[in-house]
Amino acid sequence: MERNSELSKFYKKGHDERVETLAEYADLTEDEQQLLKQLKGLDFAQADRMIENVYGVMPLPLGIATHFRVNGKDYLVPMALEEPSVVAAASNAAKMARTSGGFKASSTEPLMIAQIQLVKLKDAEAARKAVMAHKQELVELADKVFPSMKQFGGGAKDLDARVIETVRGKQLIVHLIVDVRDAMGANSINSMAEGLAPRLEQLTGGKVLLRIISNLAVHRLFRSETVWTKEALAESVKEQGLKGEEVVEAILDAWAFGAADPFRGTTHNKGIMNGIDAVTLATGNDFRAVEAGAHSYAALKGAALTAYKLNADGDIEGKILLPLAVGTVGGSMKANPTAAMCLKIIGARTSGELAQVMAAVGLAQNFAALRAMASEGIQKGHMRLHARHIATAAGAKPEEVDELVAQMQADNAINEMGAKKALDEIRGGKKVHKT
C-alpha cells in the first residue's frame, strides 16, 4: 500500500488513536505500539549499555511532521525536540510545497574523511610526496584493515595529503576518503586510520598523532529544492490580511539578510537545524556531528545553507545544500528501540534516502520561519505554543491547561507570574477567560 503523509486532523486525535494511526501507516508491531503508548523509550539495562554512570533517562517529546513528499514518495517524519512550533511549522511548509509536487532531493556518494596527523617531520613536503607516491598501496591497506566495508560495496576510495602551517610548526595531514554506505562511518574509518599509522610513519619518518574522522563531510552532500507558489502563500496569510506577493518579497528580503550577515546567518542556519537535529535525534544518529558539520560547511562557504529566488511565475524557489553524515545501520539504532521504530516509520531504505528527507525537513523548517517572520512575526506563534509550557510549569493539571493558556493570552501575561495568578483565579472561580 502506498503511504500517504497527509494525516487529517492528527493533532486532534487522542494518544492511543495517534499511535494506532502510525501503526497502520508503518505496520508497527504490538510491542512497538506499546512502547509509544507507555511513553517508555529505554529501560535501565538498555541505557546502561549505551553510556557510563547511568542513573536515569531524559525524555523528549516525539512528534510527527506530516505532508512531506520527497522525490514523489510520501513520508511521515518523526522529530524529537522540546521547542514549540517546530513540528507544526515544518508540516505546514511541507503542505504548501505539495501544491507544486513536493521536494526534489539528490546527493553525492556517502564519502567520509578520516584524518591522520603526522608531526616531527624533518621535511614535510618530502613526506607529502612520499605518501602520494604510495597512494594506491595505502588505499588497499585501508581496505584490508576493515574488509567488511568493501563487502557491502563501500571501502577506501581515495587518499590525499597536504602540509599545513601551525603554531607548532609544519604538519602533514593525510585524508583517507571512505565510502561508508549506509553507516554514519565513524567506527569503520577510525579503524582504517589506525591501521595506516605504522606504514605512514615508515614512509615519512614522522610520528602519527591523531587518527580521527572529520565531521566536515564535504564529500557527502545533500540537496533539496521546491517551489512555494504565491497562491499557496496567499492562502496561508489571508488571516493577516496580506497578499501573497507581499509575503514573497518579505521572505526574499529576510533571506538576503541571513545570507549577507553572519550574526543573522547563524540564527538563520540554527532554524534549519531545529528540524534536522530533531530528525537526527529521533533516528538515533549523532546530532552533534550533524550540527558541527552543517555550521562548519556554512562558515566554509560564507553563506546561509539555504537560498531563495523569485521565478518567472512570481513564486519562490527554495533550495538547501549541506553535509549530512547519518546512517540507517549501526550506532545506537540497534540499542535504542525507539530510534529503530522511528526509522521504520520514515521508511527510508538507505542512509542517502534518510538524509534526503532530512534535507527537505531543514528547507521546510527554514522557509516556515522566514514566512512567519515575514507575516505574523515568529514570536506570536511561538509564544502561543510556549504558553502551554508555562502553564504546565505553573502546576496546571492537564484539564486546566487550555483554560489557563486562554486566560494568560487574554491578560497579555504569558509568563510565570501571570500563569500562577491566573491559575489561582481560575481555581477560585474568580475569573473566566475573555473570548
> Among 13, 319, 382, 431, which one carries the catalytic annotation?
382
Instruction: Write down the catalytic residue from 286, 295, 315, 353.
Output: 286
Beta carbons of 294 and 216 less than 8 angstroms apart: no
193 in Cβ contact with 176 (< 8 Å): yes
The 3-state DSSP class for residue 165 equals strand
Residue 65 pairs in a beta bridge with 77
At 10, the amino acid letter reads: F
Per the listing, cell 486532534 goes with 12
Residue with cell 607516491: 133
> In terms of C-beta distances under 8 Å and separation of at least 24 residues, what long-range contacts does 232-238 make, across chains too?
232/96, 232/99, 232/100, 233/96, 233/316, 233/371, 236/92, 236/96, 236/371, 236/375, 237/371, 237/375, 237/376
What burial letters (b/e) apply to 168-178, b meaning 16+ CB within 10 Å?
A: eebbbbbbbbb
Say which of 37, 150, 170, 270 is annotated catalytic: 270
C-alpha cell at 369: 520561519
Q: Which residues pair with 308 in a beta bridge?
A: 318
Centre a 10 Å sphere on the Cβ of residue 200 and count the other Cβ atoms it contains.
25
- Residues in the chain, total: 435
List 320's β-bridge partners, or say none. 224, 306
Q: Which amino acid is at 243?
A: K
User: Is 83 considered catalytic here?
Assistant: yes
Q: In whole angstroms, what is the distance from residue 302 CA to residue 262 CA?
A: 8
Query: What gap in Å lies between CA 225 and CA 268, rounded to an integer?
Result: 17
Largest CA distance in the chain: 84
d(Cα 364, Cα 98) in Å, to the nearest integer? Answer: 11
> 253 an active-site residue?
no
The CA distance from 137 to 131, in Å, is: 10
Strand partners, 317: 227, 309
Catalytic residue check, 425: no
Grid coordinates representing 239?
A: 488571516
CA angle 381, 384, 390 (to 5 degrees): 140
270 catalytically annotated: yes
**Dihedral sign for Cα atoms in the order 31, 36, 38, 41:** positive
DSSP-derived 3-state class of residue 287 = helix
- Phi, psi (5° rounding) for residue 307? -145, 145
| Catalytic site positions | 83, 270, 286, 382
